Structure 1
Amino acid sequence: MSPDGAREAVEVRDRVAPRPVAGRRLIHRGRIWDLVSDDVVLSEDVTVTRELLDHPGAVAVVVLDDEGRVLLQRQYRHPVGRELWEIPAGLLDVEGEPAIDTARRELAEEADLRAERWDVLVDLYTTPGGSTEALRVFLARDLSPVPVDERFEREHEEADMEAAWVPLAEAADAVLAGHLHNPSTVAGVLAAARYADRDFVGLRPTGAPWPERRGASMIDGGPPVGHG
């Protein structure tokens, strides 16, 4: 045992370990996600009530050009009252759509770009204490522009997003300095910087299993496949 009581030899890996749900109540049905209340059986003698957002999940894309710069876009986020520099991202709101296809579409719609090389950077839960949202961040390289006549017409908060190409190391420094706060951006930029130190060796293919995604056994939970 170490001085703080933690075990020294242990596999540091999250595991699937759901607890029984004795009851679920819909509190609010939203346009994108629902708010529900679950009665969770922790043990024979302990049942607790937890409210959570039932979320479809999302993808995000670290877009890296040939000069080692990452694409950041500034977008207004009303819940926090701030304009955040973010990587392109979008909801997994098309039933049965593979995550990589969602990522390709979001890159084209938000950044007017296509990519020939795709890899998986990192997976995370954005707010595991209160939401089911699972997020996969992809790395997109070998870029080309979407033809002008095929570009998506952006609206609402996305209509006037400012874009900037930032050296990857500089973006990582901005994360560590507390200047960037979007979770997919923070995780994606730091993961990309770590892989850059390794010459991008060890990246997972786009079809790597993603069991954390809701319904993954039918979509992204199969055996790994080659690069997309």
Structure 2
Amino acid sequence: MMKVEDTPEAWDVVDSKHRFKGYVIEVVTDSVKMPRDEVADRDYVVHPGAVAVLALDEHDRVLMIRQYRHPTRHLMWELPAGIRDVAGEPLVTTAARELAEEAGYRAGTWYTLLDLRSSPGMTDERVRVFLARDLSRIPEEENGFEHRHEEIDMPVEWVPLADAVEKALMGMIHNSSTVAGILAAYAASVEGHALLRPADAPEA
């Protein structure tokens, strides 16, 4: 029986064309050497990666925010999240900043909940989802973050974890890291979160 675990492997790239470079993403076409010496072009988005935070309070409620996502033309309920935009910054520090900026909370306890490849057929984006516990509200005068663009008037709601699972399974929420985080948190709660990795666990 084969070991069921993703493993690093890089097939030879015989040519690479850079199609587009924006503020966050880049689009590339690689000509990749396939088995039997065939070569095939693969388009993909180069992305710096992201973090997301499943903040769970003492009543097992998930902190969720609603944000406009223009590509989908939807207001979407999501976990606080953000791009890995500070070189060399520990991912848990990035996550703590996003939780503070987007939702106004800090956490005393952090775990790695899961690592995702958001859409491995079209992007190299990696998302680490953290579980944050022991939450406390940050006084408004201490936060000092100015919301702009999609983040203006972004509501925050506390949703019971079991209800969040139901909403995911019923197709009422769709953000991939949010759905994965909710289901992972629910599964991890069965073992009292004992199987979760530490917040600074290495990425594969």
- Interval containing the TM-score (normalised by the shorter chain): over 0.9
**What residue number does 1:46 align with?**
38
Task: Give the SS at the match of 2:37.
Answer: coil
Distance across 1 between alignment mates of 2:77 and 2:35: 43
Task: Indicate the RMSD between aligned Cα atoms, in angstroms.
Answer: 1.0
TM-score normalized with structure 1 length: 0.87
Which is worse superposed, 56-65 or 156-165? 156-165
Distance across 1 between alignment mates of 2:191 and 2:163: 17
The 5-angstrom pairing of residues 49-198 of structure 1 reads 49-151=41-143, 152-198=145-191
Task: Give the SS at the match of 2:28.
Answer: strand
**What residue number does 2:203 align with?**
210
Q: What percent identity do the matched residue pairs reach?
A: 47
Q: Match of 2:3, as an amino acid?
A: E
Shift of 1:83: 0.7
Please list every run of 5 or more consecutive structure 2 residues that lacks an aligned counterpart in the other structure: none
2:19 is the counterpart of 1:32: no
Distance across 1 between alignment mates of 2:36 and 2:19: 26
Distance across 2 between alignment mates of 1:44 and 1:10: 23
Deviation per residue, 1:2-37 (Å, 9 max, x gap): xxxxxxx33211111110111211101111010111
TM-score normalized with structure 2 length: 0.97
Task: Give the SS at the match of 1:172.
Answer: helix
Distance across 2 between alignment mates of 1:12 and 1:63: 30
Q: Match of 1:197, as an amino acid?
A: V
**What residue number does 2:4 align with?**
12
Distance across 1 between alignment mates of 2:147 and 2:173: 23
Task: Give the SS at the match of 1:52.
Answer: strand
Shift of 1:128: 0.3
Larger RCO, structure (CA 8 Å, separation 6 or more):
2
Report the number of matched residues: 203
Distance across 2 between alignment mates of 1:27 and 1:178: 34
Which is worse superposed, 83-92 or 140-149? 140-149
Distance across 2 between alignment mates of 1:22 and 1:99: 33
Deviation per residue, 1:65-123 (Å, 9 max, x gap): 11110011111101011111000000011111111111011011001110000001111
**What residue number does 1:226 align with?**
none
Task: Give the SS at the match of 1:180.
Answer: coil
Please list every run of 5 or more consecutive structure 1 residues that lacks an aligned counterpart in the other structure: 1-8, 212-228
Runs of 4+ residues deviating >2 angstroms = none
Distance across 2 between alignment mates of 1:43 and 1:13: 21
Greater per-residue strand proportion: 2
**What residue number does 1:218 align with?**
none
